[in-house]
Amino acid sequence: MSGTVILVHPRRFGDDRGWFTECYNKQKFEPLGIDCEFVQDNHSLSVPAGTLRGLHFQTPPFAQDKLVRCIRGKIFDVAVDIRKGSPTYGEWVGVELSAENGDQLLVPAGYAHGFVTLEDNTEVTYKVSNYYAPDNDAGLMWNDKDIGIDWPLAGGAEPVLSGKDTKHPALAEFDSPFAYDGNPMKLVEIEP
């Protein structure tokens, strides 16, 4: 399902003690289009609400598929199509992921990824299909007008950014190394 951004709604089984869920099960996820091999798990803590991380990706041959979930707090998670020649090039989709809803977002290679925290002390974990490669670490400007992401920042406040995230190029300055695979971007929801 290349080109497909997948919103996963894992089922929770609960009782008076709480709940249980399978966050990832290769046998269940593969037939639903999540057939990448994950090799690394990442975990971030963002203390202030309004922390924005992105828009990030790794270039080939170290491109990464990401399966993102929020384990504490709440985020607005975004994927931007950066596959050269795609009819949806530069378009984005965004969803709310939270500890409460338990949803996850698959962001395929060929997409820039970013999120903004909507609550203090938010933690995000994500599986990736390739190891971190500093020389292939890249990004796009979070507020690029050509992309036009509608970030839900309280009262139009400026986000809390890393120094690195203030220096990424705009989409118009970017020569994408990602090829279009014939599948325009779409958001698909699944429940494994």
Cis peptide before 61 (omega within 30 of 0): yes
Q: Determine whether 126 is an active site residue.
A: yes
Main-chain phi, psi angles of 19, to 5 degrees: -145, 165
Cβ distance 112 to 43 under 8 Å? no
Q: Please give the C-alpha separations between residue 131 and each of 35, 103, 115, in angstroms, as whole numbers.
A: 17, 24, 20
Q: Which of 56, 111, 113, 180 is catalytic?
A: 56
Q: Determine whether 9 is an active site residue.
A: no
Q: Which of 111, 113, 126, 168 is catalytic?
A: 126
Which residues are marked as active site? 56, 126
